[in-house]
A and B are shown apart, each in its own frame.
Chain A
């Protein structure tokens, strides 16, 4: 009787402890987001950590900053959003398509130098992208690609292929060869088997890869800042940076944070839609290394 009761207490204590820890971690992770949201709703021109900001009352809440962000920026918010979606969307699409083929080749084909190639790609992905900005600039300007859509889409998709290619490869490694071979015996060509069997089986990892390939360009500042000069090609990341240089934006944290909130909405929506796949991809990737 006694040991059992003791065990029950131990289990309860463990549960409480794990909840406390998890709630703490959650609060830690969510606080900045909360802070950004309340700041964006405050009237203060300069935010400070005051009770006034942290615990807003209905009388101090205002959506004025959102109005300014959405209607009174130049170039206007819709242009920035459109540009960002063009850059991120096409980079994600191109990067994802190439990553699927890369993963397929690296996982299911035996060719000389395959291992070396995989290590090479892993090595490349260790370099921070910022290092490449200057060489890319010279390369792309000699090709006349500076300040064009294509000029950014190319490096963005290339970045996505490097990372997602390996991701897809690892996932495809976990799909038994039998299944593809069954399709070949069933009368499919290798290409048909790829599109009709392997790709559907890879949806989880492709969802994750698409998400990552989308977020990268969406939040990129370094490359866009160097490559884009015309206002009409500005992305959201460049827009938020330039709020500071406008008259009404100088030091106005309400504006900056409101911008940040609106900017994050598409990602939240994206995540909600693909959540099922993304989580599947993350855990599978984690388990299989």
Chain B
């Protein structure tokens, strides 16, 4: 049980920079999810922690031990690979026992000297890990004879028996089909609660990240953009990339301008107008609103904009509406502006394609970004006060 610290880690392959100056302190017992699109350097970071890849610069600490020069086997970490990387020639039992057979531990009577685990010790450990993961009955099978879900458990069991300093998991759920996957997610979370060990989990699936992580570390092009709790990442994304990457369905962005209006300022993107307070940034600004903060109503209200429903996506417990703002609520009226596409999440079956509606924004929760995508912290929406 130990924390892991990355200090200014960079990794360059010939021409491209896979990891760019990443610093991250993972606490003892924490479940940290490294989240990023494909090619953002997630696996590379995990491999650097494991010692399978050597960083170009920076330092890795396990606990307070500097491990830059340690071979993978001396780091005592456990890793679950996306492919599971089970040994195809060995039974599930032998796969799990493999690490124990080569491992040496201090002797009880003389801690200066090392000994190997006895057969019985190995057997006990393997069987209890198998039991914990519900694969006790299939330990004699070879990996080829196991289903994807079972393989994944064998890989987890192989990690658990070794009682490592920390667990590194590289998209371990991505090869499972949707149903097993959500189960596996819950089991993994439970396992973490039970083991209370440090987990570093890599994924490109933001739902997975949100449900699993104590903290999310969001990567883009090898850079660490933000590392915060799921709630915080959702409500206070560091920039527009994080805002769009996290949260499903994706955030709605409106690119417009901040203009003086009366005594204050207003964000304008015709036909939408949102009053602004704080220290406004003039000129081009992007407003981001979560689709569930977009209100859709049948009847008009002040500040609501007429719109038409152009598409409905059934999400299960809710619907995502595709809307065109400014589209006249009645087809007979000629449009004055090109319609502005927006999305909203509403209760299932409330609206249908073609409905004329009125849209307003839960402006309290809107976020502002500058032209480069950085969040404008000092700006907020002036709600109804003006």
Q: What bracket does the count of chain B residues touching chain A fall in?
A: 20 to 34
The interface-forming segment of A131-139, A179-187, A230-238, A261-269 is A179-187
Residues of chain B within 8 A of A187, CB atoms compared: 73, 76, 99, 102-103, 162
User: Which listed residue (B72, B86, B87, B89) contacts A184, Cβ 8 A?
Assistant: B72
Q: State whether the Cβ of A176 lies closer than 8 Å to any Cβ in chain B.
A: yes
Q: Any chain B CB within 8 A of the CB of A247? A: no
Using A186-B98, A189-B73 as known contacts, say yes or no to A181 and B52 having CB atoms under 8 A apart: yes
B99 close to A186 (CB less than 8 A)? yes
A201 sits at the interface (CB 8 A): yes
**Pairwise interchain contact B83-A178, C-beta atoms closer than 8 A:** yes
The smallest C-beta distance from B144 to any residue of chain A, in angstroms, reads: 13
Partner of B85, one of A179, A189, A200: A179
- In the bound complex, residues from chain A placing their C-beta under 8 Å from that of B89 are 200-201
Chain A-chain B contacts (Cβ-Cβ < 8 Å), number: 59
Q: Mark B69-97, 1 if CB is under 8 A from A, else 0.
A: 00111001111010101111100000000
Output the least CB separation between B47 and chain A (Å): 8
| Contact of A188 with B by CB under 8 A | yes
Q: Does B158 contact A (CB under 8 A)?
A: yes
Q: Which of B51, B71, B76, B79 contacts A182 (CB 8 A)?
A: B79
Question: What size tier do the contact residues of chain A reach?
Answer: 10 to 19
A47 is an interface residue with CB less than 8 A from chain B: no
A-B contact pairs, 26 of them (CB 8 A): A176-B85, A178-B81, A179-B86, A179-B87, A181-B79, A181-B81, A181-B85, A182-B81, A182-B87, A183-B87, A184-B72, A184-B73, A185-B51, A185-B52, A185-B79, A186-B73, A186-B102, A186-B158, A186-B162, A187-B73, A187-B76, A189-B71, A192-B102, A196-B102, A197-B87, A201-B88
Given known contacts A181-B52, A182-B86, A188-B102, what 6 new A-B pairs fall within 8 Å (CB)? A181-B72, A181-B85, A183-B98, A185-B77, A187-B162, A189-B71
The interface of chain A, by Cβ under 8 A from chain B, is 176, 178-179, 181-189, 192, 196-197, 200-201
Taking Cβ atoms with an 8 Å cutoff, the residues of B that contact A are 50-52, 71-73, 76-79, 81, 83, 85-89, 98-99, 102-103, 158, 162
